[in-house]
Amino acid sequence: MTFSFGFKRLLHAEPDYRQLFMAGLVNGIGDRFSQVAMLALILGATGSGLAVGLALGLRVFPFLLLAPLGGILTLHFSRRTIMIVTNLLRVPVALSFLFVHQADDLWILYTASTLLACAEALYAPVRKSGIPLLVRSENLHQINGLEQVMNGSVLIVGAFVGGIVSAALGPQAAFVTNAIAFLFAAALIHKISFPPLGTKRVDETVGKQPAHAPKRNSKGGALMLWQFICSSVPLQILIAFELWVPVINGIDNVLISVYAIEVFKLGDWGVGLFYAALGIGLVLSSWGSRYLQLWLLPGVVACLLIEGCLLMLLSETRFASVAVLMYILLAFTSGMGNTCLDTLLMRETPERYRGIVYGLVTASSSTMLGLSMFGAGILLEVMEPRRLGFAGGMGFACIALLLAAYAWIRRDAFKRS
């Protein structure tokens, strides 16, 4: 009861973010509805796993080019306008899935899926970078915890209910629901009032320049941003995290289905069960992350190290019930780490460059994740799933130790200077 009351009180205290939260929830659930139905439609029409992989790959790679553009657009256009337009443009694209009935029509599905991913690549960094403008700084860490609740709720509701809707009413119902979700999200975002660029909605702790930050007499915006990154050790660690972790994270994404179907012999419902476990862990992580708000950078590294250890333990688990518990703990730990990471990234990045940084981070992490998923699929042809899972956990642990070592070395260097 207290947990739920804290959410409601926080959303009541931040009305603009409440609209953004609801829009994200609606968008996410609609997208899950559509994704479940899309994959079922592809498998029904072709029976090909390669066709499924192609559809998923096309949803990832537009982020490479368009996510940085989304960040740049925040320098010239209102965030609200960008998000409303991208939502409205996705409505007819989402409805175009209704014209797919057989294998010969799959080109429509692939084209529409790519266009939806292009719009999301523009939308995601604009939304994320706008959060600090809508909330008070003392609530920022808790708000980022609520973002994990939103992601978890999308996994639980979107995956389960989307599968039920698609199975009971047909994939067309899920596609229409997705289009309606875009309209509803646009209406919610229309009520948000973003402050103009440069307006201090949050206090000076958000985006405050560190002592070693460059002065504002740099010759260009890109040069100044680069100098700022070079002067901020936490920002360097966060960017390295976003570059390295997705390289390993693709293994986990692929292994969820493989563990459920091939290792634990649970069938398709086991995939939904494991995703629901991840959703539960993400929702609970909001409660746990409040204890790390004074230890943001150590929290990021420690959670990554724990996550790696849990993945190694998961690879040795012999019981499905234990695997479900492990997935809850994995998402719980990952959600806490992501909350710390987002809060620290928002506080370390100057307001003017926040959209650009989030665009670049989103582009690189999404691209690396797509390549990692493709590589994991190839490795599964020559490696046993449990061994690949253990290797992925070891990779997380190694990255955490490297980041911790870098933070310690640079901190010592700053002390000597």
Question: Residues 14, 152: one domain?
Answer: yes
My answer on whether 296 and 365 are in the same domain is yes
3-class secondary-structure state, position 196:
coil
223 and 362 co-located in one domain = yes
Residues 282 and 414 in one domain: yes
User: What confidence category does residue 347 fall into, taking pLDDT thresholds of 50, 70 and 90?
Assistant: confident
Tokens (6 digits) for 180? 């309606």
- Integer Cα distance of 177 and 360 in angstroms: 31
226 shares a domain with 183: no
Residues 21-74: tens digit of each pLDDT: 999 999 998 888 887 778 777 767 776 656 766 776 677 778 888 888 888 888
On whether both 170 and 249 belong to a single domain, the answer is no
**Would 208 be classed as within a structural domain?**
no
Which is more confident, 278 or 44?
278
Determine, yes or no, domain membership for 49.
yes
Whether residue 271 sits in one domain with residue 159: no
Two tokens, residue 167: 């199975």
Taking the whole predicted model, whether its pTM rises above 0.85 is answered as no
**Residues 220 and 181 occupy one common structural domain:** no
| Band of residue 197 on the pLDDT scale cut at 50, 70, 90 | low
CATH number at residue 166: 1.20.1250.20
Q: Has residue 413 got a pLDDT over 60?
A: no
d(CA 22, CA 16): 10
Residues 181 and 241 in one domain: no
The total number of structural domains in the chain stands at 2
Picking from 141, 164, 197, the residue at the C-terminal end of a domain is: 197
pLDDT confidence of residue 70: 83
d(CA 385, CA 392): 11
Contact 340, 145 (CB under 8 A): no
Alpha carbons 167 and 336: distance in angstroms, whole number: 34
What pLDDT band is residue 257 in, cutting at 50, 70 and 90?
Answer: confident
Interacting residues of 352 by C-beta distance below 8 A, sequence separation 6+:
75, 197, 198, 221
Residue found under tokens 């999404």: 366
Q: Is the pLDDT of residue 208 over 50?
A: no
> Does residue 2 belong to any structural domain of this protein?
no
> Two tokens at 306?
């724990």
In a domain, 219, yes or no: yes
Residue ranges making up the domain that contains 193: 10-197
Of the three residues 162, 197, 232, the one that is the final residue of a domain is: 197
83 and 39 share a domain? yes
Same domain as 251, residue 181 = no
| CA distance linking residue 158 with residue 26, whole number of Å | 10
What confidence tens digit (pLDDT) does each residue in 369-384 have? 878 877 887 788 788 9
Query: Which pLDDT tens digit goes with each residue over 110-156?
Result: 899 899 999 998 999 899 989 999 999 889 999 999 999 999 988 88
For the ranges 38-47, 230-239, 286-295, 392-401, the one whose mean pLDDT is highest: 392-401
